[in-house]
A and B are shown apart, each in its own frame.
Chain A
Amino acid sequence: MGGNSPCASCKLLRRRCAKDCIFAPYFPSDDPHKFAIVHKVFGASNVSKTLQELPLQQRADAVSSLVYEANARIRDPVYGCVGAISYLQNQVSQLQMQLAVAQAEIVCIQMQQDPIMVAANPQMVLGQADDDDQAFLLQNQCFNFANNNSSSSAYVNIHESLKRESIFGDIVS
């Protein structure tokens, strides 16, 4: 390897690529697009300042995350990564609800199987405070659940949710 070829950053910025170029390790010349998008969103100067403030061993991860964010912002100029974050937060909420429903069903089934035991020890099935009100509420929930039980529709098919597109797919508007 004779003369050093300029890194993607220095090529784009049309400058000489010094031996200690801060961008060179992370923006090789064979991937010009990577630096182009980071430069478009953040600006070379800001990226350089960010990297300079980080220890060497963290810079590669920082560059990866900057590229990720820049990509997200280019695909969705209004929301960028925030679109993906919103989507994921919704997913977490939905899953927590589904889990709560499923756990309530377990309790109901246990109540049907051994109502005396469950009524006497609600904390054993709920894992919560052994309140009399808790047992009462639980019983009511189970009645409602039994009456409205279309149990397959009570749960969103978890495999359907896993088959959703990647984050990039979802933030493409």
Chain B
Amino acid sequence: MSSGRCAACRYLRRRCTQDCILSPYFPSNNPQRFASVHRIYGASNVTKLLQRLPTHLRSEAADSLYFEAQCRLEDPVYGCVGLIFLLQQQIHSAESQLIKTQAEIAVMKSQTQHPQTQPFRAISGSNNLLLQQSDNDANLIFSNQVSSGFI
């Protein structure tokens, strides 16, 4: 173990010391992991970032850096932010569906309770009210994208 260099030191062609900060998180058996992180962040930035963290959090930080680096390599324009957008769209769509379904349930229940009254097409009416409110609230999420200069 004393002679093996970590993936970072191998990549950087330097001696891997015993207190190498990168070696626990970039083992020699996965050179691609450090290569990705180095390409996006650079060794110096990764080192500084890990140094600022307590030891017990560094592993998670290294994992998240690797994840984001991979996302950026696969999508150089949006990186992992593309994934965030996709998830937000999925949430918006699921919420709309849920609201519609809940409205449908409300109508069906009222039909069950008052079978003699003709059910007007309340679905679209209640849907619009609920959707309007949910759209206004959902815009809070999207407008943050705008205010952060993303859109």
Give the B-binding residues of A (Cβ under 8 A). Answer: 34, 40-43, 45-46, 50, 53-54, 58, 61-62, 64-69, 71, 73, 77-85, 88-89, 91-92, 95-96, 98-99, 102-103, 105-106, 109-110, 112-113, 155, 158-159, 161-163, 166-168
Would A167 and B91 count as touching, CB distance under 8 A? no
Which chain B positions have C-beta within 8 A of A61? 77-78
Interchain residue pairs with CB less than 8 A apart (15): A42-B41, A45-B42, A58-B77, A61-B78, A69-B81, A77-B61, A81-B80, A84-B84, A92-B94, A95-B95, A98-B98, A99-B98, A109-B112, A159-B133, A159-B134
CB of B60 closer than 8 Å to a CB of A = yes
Would B97 and A80 count as touching, CB distance under 8 A? no
Question: What is the chain A residue whose CB lies nearest that of B101?
Answer: A102
Question: What is the chain A residue whose CB lies nearest that of B149?
Answer: A64
Would A85 and B84 count as touching, CB distance under 8 A? yes
Minimum CB–CB distance from B65 to chain A (whole Å) comes to: 7
Minimum CB–CB distance from A61 to chain B (whole Å) comes to: 5
Which chain A positions have C-beta within 8 A of B150? 64-65, 67-68
Which chain A positions have C-beta within 8 A of B97? 99
Which chain A positions have C-beta within 8 A of B127? none
Would B140 and A158 count as touching, CB distance under 8 A? no
Given contacts A42-B42, A82-B64, A159-B134, contact A109 B108 (CB under 8 A): yes
Which chain A positions have C-beta within 8 A of B148? 67-68, 71, 168
Q: Main SS of chain B's interface residues?
A: helix
CB-contact partner of A99 in B61, B101, B137, under 8 A: B101
Question: What is the chain A residue whose CB lies nearest that of B82?
Answer: A65
Would A95 and B98 count as touching, CB distance under 8 A? yes
Given contacts A64-B150, A69-B68, contact A99 B91 (CB under 8 A): no
How far apart are the CA atoms of A78 and B99 in the complex, in Å?
36
CB of B57 closer than 8 Å to a CB of A = yes
CB-contact partner of A88 in B84, B104, B111, under 8 A: B84
How far apart are the CA atoms of A80 and B35 in the complex, in Å?
19
Would B61 and A78 count as touching, CB distance under 8 A? yes
Most chain A beta carbons < 10 A, residue from B40, B83, B109, B140: B40
Given contacts A43-B41, A54-B77, A166-B144, contact A79 B60 (CB under 8 A): yes
Considering only residues 28-68 of chain B, those with a C-beta below 8 Å from chain A are: 39-42, 44-45, 49, 52-53, 57, 60-61, 63-65, 67-68
Would A66 and B95 count as touching, CB distance under 8 A? no
Would A80 and B98 count as touching, CB distance under 8 A? no
Would A162 and B112 count as touching, CB distance under 8 A? no
Would B76 and A53 count as touching, CB distance under 8 A? yes
